[in-house]
A = this chain, B = another copy of it.
Amino acid sequence: MTRYQHLANLLAERIEQGLYRAGEKLPSVRTLSQEHGVSISTVQQAYQTLETLRLITPQPRSGYFVATRKAQPPVPAMSRPVQRPVEVTQWDQVLEMLEARRDKDIILFGGGSPDVTQPSLKPLWREMSRVVQHHPTEILSYDELAGRRELREQVARLMLDGGSTVTADDIVITSGCHSGLSIALLAVCKPGDIVAVESPTFYGTMQLLRGFGIKAIEIPTDPESGISIEALELALEQWPIKGVILVPNCNNPLGFIMPEARKRAVLALAQRHDIVIFEDDIYGELAMEYPRPRTIHSFDIDGRVLMCSSFTKTVAPGLRVGWIVPGRYRDRVMHMKYASSGTTPPATQLAVATFVREGHYHRHVRRMRQIYQSNMETYTCWLRQYFPCGICVTRPLGGYMLWVELPEVVDMVCVAKQLCRLKIQVAPGSLFSASGKYRNCLRINCALPTTEKHRLVMEQLGEAVHRAIDQDANA
């Protein structure tokens, strides 16, 4: 983080905490410069940043003042999905979104890509290049089915941070977390089975269920504490549910971290009803809290948690390196890995193993956590600024996604189509429901840098939402 960003964050915090009140004059540029031992231009840049965020306003010949702000938007309420198993729909919409990646000019606010432009990734490119030059025969050959041992050893080390004690032999490398979850589902379920999911749930996960003919039952989920254990229990009593897919840490799209007591409670429930937990920890390492939160897997004693994760969000999607800790399902998982994707390419595995072993991974993730946190604050400010009153916005504890609930009258599916023509891609909430609920919701990818270009896009987005409301009022 540069000096001016550091200073801007500090001032933003003080404003947030009420140390500087709305309307109050801020210290002069010269005063701050002396106080913090930084240059005049650094202070000016910091003030400009806060101005962009609409946290402060300049008054000619008087200096900067704390802006009179709208209140922090409230968090959405517990979701209320349909309470019965349904076949997942929305594939055409998801495919449309995926195909937007073809167009290099489109701004992908709807996708899940992390920021892969940071210099802290440079050691990874270097390592990939080195691997190719030094181990050509090795990287051109078939890999072990479970994946490279060097990598599995590093993954085992990382998993200690989430509270899980596993060895390299307990881990199966997969082509990303998505493929991991796919293998886990194929290993446990057959077509016609029912699997419970949080509601909303990442559309990619939903489409896995659809692909394999598995029905989804969406369970009410609180944007701050996660899946309703009571509602899950009711569903388990009523339906022959095979398992539940959970993203308990830095949930996608809601951003919550399930409190530890609730993680234990959901595991106990799974034990009582003898169901499987598919735990997706893909964003877990991007939690703001330190040390990072524990996984449900770390509490598991009878191998019923199949944990899936990857380096997709923490490092880069193009690597396609993830893993499963399959617990008691190892044999089936090995078979389904062989049947569904076969072995994984050795080159990227070797490069990532070194990236982790030499400490570059931890440095990079530390940096990204700060960037994403700061981005989410900025995007929340922009939402407050450009979107209508009455919206609800999540307050994520990690990851880089914001979930926005708009007034009921807004149909984001229609708005998304209009935005598409402006080369802006957004993810309407309906993609995150098996039955197409949440049409008035929206997920925003805050990994996109908070540049002027993206501020303008958020402004356009806000205008489109305002228009939708006006049209409804005139109809």
Contacts of A315 in B (CB 8 A): 140
**CA of A417 to CA of B139, assembled, Å:** 29
Residues of B within 8 Å of A335, CB to CB, are 91, 95, 207, 210-211
Within 8 A of B (CB), among A69-120: 91, 94-95, 98-99, 101-102, 111, 113, 116-117
Q: Is the CB of A345 within 8 A of B345?
A: yes
CA–CA, A50 and B91, complex, Å = 62
**Chain B residues whose C-beta falls within 8 Å of the C-beta of A99 in the assembled complex:** 144-145
In the complex, the answer to whether A175 meets B102 with C-beta atoms within 8 Å is no
Q: Given the known A-B contacts A111-B142, A141-B316, are A178 and B133 also in contact in the complex, defined by CB atoms under 8 Å? A: no
Task: Give, as a whole number of angstroms, the nearest-CB distance from A148 to chain B.
Answer: 10
> Please, which residue of chain B has its CB at the minimum distance from the CB of A321?
B345
Query: Does A299 have its Cβ within 8 Å of any Cβ on chain B?
Result: no
Query: Is A340 interfacial (CB 8 A cutoff)?
Result: yes
Looking at the complex, which of A11-19, A124-132, A283-291 is the stretch in contact with chain B?
A: A124-132
Smallest CB-CB separation from A122: which chain B residue?
A: B136
Interface residues of A in 296-338 (CB under 8 A from B): 315-320, 334-336, 338
Q: Is the interface of A mostly helix, strand, loop or mixed?
A: helix
Given contacts A95-B334, A210-B339, A336-B211, A347 and B142 within 8 Å (CB-CB): no
Taking CB atoms, residues of chain B closer than 8 Å to A67 are none
Residue contact A182 to B318, C-beta cutoff 8 Å? no
A361 to chain B, nearest CB (A): 14
Copies in the complex: 2
A140/B317 in contact, CB under 8 A = yes
Q: Does A343 contact B (CB under 8 A)?
A: yes
Q: Is A20 an interface position by the 8 A CB rule?
A: no
A176 on the interface (CB 8 Å rule)?
yes
Give, as a whole number of angstroms, the nearest-CB distance from A100 to chain B: 10
Q: CA–CA, A138 to B212, complex, Å?
A: 31
A213 at the interface (CB under 8 A from B): yes
Contact with B along A198-234 (1 / 0, CB 8 A): 0000001001101111000000000000000000000
What is the distance, in angstroms, from A364's C-beta to the closest C-beta of chain B?
A: 12
Contacts of A121 in B (CB 8 A): 136, 140
B175–A342 touching, CB < 8 Å: yes
Which residue of B132, B138, B179 is within 8 Å of A128 (Cβ)? B132
Measured in the bound complex, the distance between the Cα atoms of B312 and A143 in whole Å is: 12
Are B341 and A341 neighbours in the complex by a CB distance under 8 Å? yes
Nearest chain B CB to A446's CB is how many angstroms away? 17
A342 CA to B117 CA in the complex, in Å? 22
Q: Does A348 contact B (CB under 8 A)?
A: yes
Q: Verify if A467 is at the interface (C-beta below 8 Å from B).
A: no
Q: Which residue of B136, B141, B186 is within 8 Å of A125 (Cβ)?
A: B136
Q: A182-B341, A211-B336 are in contact. Are A141 and B129 (CB under 8 A)?
A: no
A378 touches B (CB below 8 Å): no
Find out whether the CB atom of B98 lies under 8 angstroms from the CB atom of A116.
no
B140 near A102: Cβ-Cβ < 8 Å: no
A343 to B97, CA, bound (A): 14
Interface contact A125-B132, CB-CB below 8 Å: yes
Bound CA–CA A347/B136 (angstroms): 15
Q: How far is the CB of A71 from chain B (nearest CB, A)?
A: 37
Chain B neighbourhood of A149, CB < 8 A: 102
Partner of A211, one of B91, B204, B339: B339
Q: Knowing that A140-B318, A175-B341 touch, tell me 7 more A-B residue pairs with CB under 8 angstroms.
A: A94-B338, A95-B334, A102-B149, A113-B141, A175-B344, A182-B342, A347-B348
**A interface residue numbers (CB < 8 A to B):** 91, 94-95, 98-99, 101-102, 111, 113, 116-117, 121, 124-125, 128-129, 132-133, 136-145, 149, 175-176, 178-179, 182, 186, 190-191, 204, 207-208, 210-213, 315-320, 334-336, 338-348
Question: Can you spell out 25 A-B residue pairs with CB atoms less than 8 angstroms apart?
Answer: A95-B334, A95-B338, A98-B145, A99-B145, A101-B144, A111-B142, A113-B141, A124-B140, A140-B316, A140-B317, A141-B318, A142-B317, A175-B341, A175-B344, A179-B340, A190-B213, A210-B335, A211-B335, A317-B343, A318-B345, A320-B342, A341-B341, A345-B345, A347-B347, A347-B348
Closest 9 CB pairs of A and B: A211-B339, A140-B316, A116-B140, A178-B342, A140-B318, A142-B317, A128-B132, A320-B345, A341-B341
